[in-house]
Structure 1
Amino acid sequence: MSARVPRNRATGRRPPARRRPRRPGRRRQRAEDRLIGLLIAAVLVVGLVVIVVNWLLAHWWILAVVAVLAVSAGGAWLYQKQQRARWEAVRARGLRYGLAQLDTLHHARFEDAVRDLMHRDGCRDAVRVGGGGDLGADVKATDPYGRRWVIQCKHRRDGLGGSAVGTPDLQVLNGTARQVHGADVAVIVTNGRVTAPAVAFAEQQRLHVVDRHILGAWASGSRPLWELLRAVPPPRRPTALS
């Protein structure tokens, strides 16, 4: 039997039982172990870094060789990049198409040719967007003067013998070029014929028509398209001549 705890004579109550001191919990112990592990790892990392730095200082010529190789590799990469850009510029400036060559193209490749010609003229962002749901735009580009071009392409495999571009084609361009695509210059390009009513409608609505004659001069020459068209909007950006 356990010994009975004597009562306090003054109060008649038993004294409170003593509580045993609690040992540190497992979570606290784990946290301390983790902290110790991190400290040991940090010491090892610092020691390794010191060893590597001392070794490199003792063998400084290795750093010099690595630096020379890195500079040489970077210089070679930059030179090749500049050469590619230079040759691309030369190729773009020398891009030429004959009308007979354009006639044989697929309509999608005809749009590619128009895009490439705009790029040749200095429109670095020229892109072909033609396809289903293009809303009247096959090629978009921004010229060096800040003007936004929206171009609708109409390819005729038979050239002048194909169906003529009519007023309905220009009405589609007129309805979307400025309102939807934000065009400053709205253009329709064809290797075929354009009806007289379509030309009159284009003049009324400030649209530009690149017919077979203008297309031939543009594709086979070196002048940009805006030098071959009349009444092109003024530049948005200041130029050296302004």
Structure 2
Amino acid sequence: MTTRPRKSRKPDWKPGLAVAVAAVIVLPPFFRSHPVLSVTVTTLVVLGATTWFALRLRAGRIEAERQAGRDRAIEVTDGMTGPEFEQWTARLLRRSGCRDVEVVGGTGDAGADVVAWTPGGKRVVVQCKRHVRKITSPDVQRFGGVFHYHRADVALLIATTTFTEPAQRIAAGVGILLVDRTALAEWARTNVPPLPLSR
């Protein structure tokens, strides 16, 4: 069972609010006394803010593309923790066209690590196994309630290793789709998901 990654601290908004309040009080009289200067300053502020946002968006897109490039090699998962692998899987689902992708793994997750919706509107529930050992039938059995408890339309058990034959038989019997290391490597490389996700 994995634990949730720590949330980053939210930025303190109080200094920004204080500056905004001061600006509302001080600037209007100044602008009335200096109309030309006020227009110039306002124009520069708007241009500066627009440029800053554009640069941030561009930097975000560039970083997302770099991250996607790194994520395409299955070997990057070998040094990951469980929560890191869940985040990696979530990014893979997004690149594959899924929407509303959310990492939910943690205490009390009842087997669900990532949930998402396919382009066709199906609810996907994923359990992530970042293991070296083979995944056995008890591992699959513990995920067996995914359709009832999590109301999954598609249940994926994704592993960085392989599955034993009994595990494969149980999964086939209950309708869980198994994605082993070989299939996962191909999925990550091509962004083409297993068949149920494409519907």
TM-score (norm 1): 0.60
Are residue 195 (structure 1) and residue 164 (structure 2) matched? yes
Are residue 168 (structure 1) and residue 138 (structure 2) matched? yes
Residue 52 of structure 2: aligned partner: 77
1:197-212 paired onto structure 2 within 5 Å: 197-212=166-181
Aligned length: 172
Q: CA deviation at 1:151?
A: 0.8
Are residue 178 (structure 1) and residue 147 (structure 2) matched? yes
Separation (CA, whole Å) in 2 of partners of 1:86 and 1:207: 34
Residue segments in structure 1 that go unaligned for 5+ positions in a row: 1-51, 236-242
Separation (CA, whole Å) in 2 of partners of 1:112 and 1:90: 16
The DSSP-based 3-state class of the residue aligned with 1:187 is strand
Separation (CA, whole Å) in 2 of partners of 1:145 and 1:66: 49
TM-score (norm 2): 0.71
Instruction: Kindly indicate whether the alpha-carbon contact (under 8 Å) linking 2:130 and 2:159 is maintained by their aligned counterparts in 1.
Output: yes
Separation (CA, whole Å) in 2 of partners of 1:92 and 1:101: 11
Q: CA deviation at 1:126?
A: 2.6
Separation (CA, whole Å) in 1 of partners of 2:37 and 2:75: 62
Q: Can you list the C-alpha shifts for 1:185-233, whole angstroms capped at 9, x where unaligned?
A: 11001122212222222222221100121012123x12232xxx24x17
Percent identical pairs in the alignment equals 32
Higher RCO structure (Cα 8 Å, ≥6 apart): 2
Residue 27 of structure 1: aligned partner: none
Q: Can you list the C-alpha shifts for 1:14-60, whole angstroms capped at 9, x where unaligned?
A: xxxxxxxxxxxxxxxxxxxxxxxxxxxxxxxxxxxxxx49x82x632
Q: Give RMSD over aligned pairs.
A: 2.8
- Aligned pair partner of 1:114 in 89, 93, 100: 89
How has the CA–CA distance of structure 1 residues 59 and 133 changed in structure 2, closer, same or farther, with 3 Å as cutoff? closer
Separation (CA, whole Å) in 1 of partners of 2:121 and 2:70: 23
Instruction: Kindly indicate whether the alpha-carbon contact (under 8 Å) linking 2:129 and 2:159 is maintained by their aligned counterparts in 1.
Output: yes
Larger helix proportion of the pair = 2
Are residue 222 (structure 1) and residue 184 (structure 2) matched? no
Q: CA deviation at 1:173?
A: 1.8
The DSSP-based 3-state class of the residue aligned with 2:42 is helix
